Structure 1
Amino acid sequence: MIAVVTILMAFPLGYLMSSYFAANVTYAVAYLWAFTFQAVYLLPMFIADLGEVAPGGDPVNEAFPIGYGVVTLTVFLAGLVLVRLGCWVRQRRTGAQLRSA
């Protein structure tokens, strides 16, 4: 979900919005909405996994899924890079149009 939001929104926001700050904030809000939705969707599965009982009768004590946090942070940072790339492309195109006029 967060990857889809990042791919569909980050670059276009950077390209279409005139303010880099506003583009980043808009992307962050969209990302956080998708992240919350995704977390609520995945939470029941995570809780169900914690409730499993090992063959010896002890509850399964799995560590917090750090990998999930690393992946979501990486997706967020990639989105910020895409926003910056969109701003850069817009500035290059606008500069090229101004020079040719």
Structure 2
Amino acid sequence: MIAILVIVAALPIGLAIRNRMAAYLVYGLAFAHVYTFQTAILVMEWHNGSTAAFKDSRSTALLGDTLGYFVFTTIIYAAGFGLVTLGHWLRSRRQTPAHEVRLDA
């Protein structure tokens, strides 16, 4: 879910919102909202016996799995901030007038 958010929303947020800090805030809030629900769904599935996201609760590698999930989502989070920055850069580049060449001077 968070990967879909980054792919679908990060660049348009950077393009649509003029203030870069406001764009970062909107992206951060959207990511936090989706991340909360994604984590809750994964934990509920793990509690019901699924080992797709996390290993069995008796496993000693549970900390490693949790750390891996944290690292993976942090990389996705940072990539989203990069896309917001790229969108803001593209917006400012489109709004900057081209350099004018005057031949009558």
Q: Which TM-score bucket, shorter chain as reference?
A: 0.7 to 0.9
Moved >4 Å (runs of 4+)? none
Letter in 2 for 1:20: R
- The alignment's TM-score, normalised by the length of structure 2, stands at 0.79
- 1:46-84 per-residue CA deviation (whole Å, 9 max, x = no partner) reads 34431xxxxxxxx43333221111110000000000000
Match of 2:68 in 1: 67
Match of 1:35 in 2: 35
Cα 1:99–1:67 change in 2 (3 A) is same
Percent identity reads 33
Cα 1:44–1:62 change in 2 (3 A) is farther
Answer 1 or 2: which has greater helix percent. 1
- 1:9-43 per-residue CA deviation (whole Å, 9 max, x = no partner) reads 11000011000000000000000111001000000
- The alignment's TM-score, normalised by the length of structure 1, stands at 0.82
Aligned positions, number: 91
Unaligned runs of 5+ in 1: 51-58
Letter in 1 for 2:7: I
The Cα of 1:100 is off from its aligned counterpart by: 6.8
Unaligned runs of 5+ in 2: 50-55, 101-105
Task: Indicate the RMSD between aligned Cα atoms, in angstroms.
Answer: 1.6
Match of 1:54 in 2: none
Match of 2:95 in 1: 94
Match of 1:78 in 2: 79
What is the distance in 2 between the residues matched to 1:19 and 1:3? Answer: 24
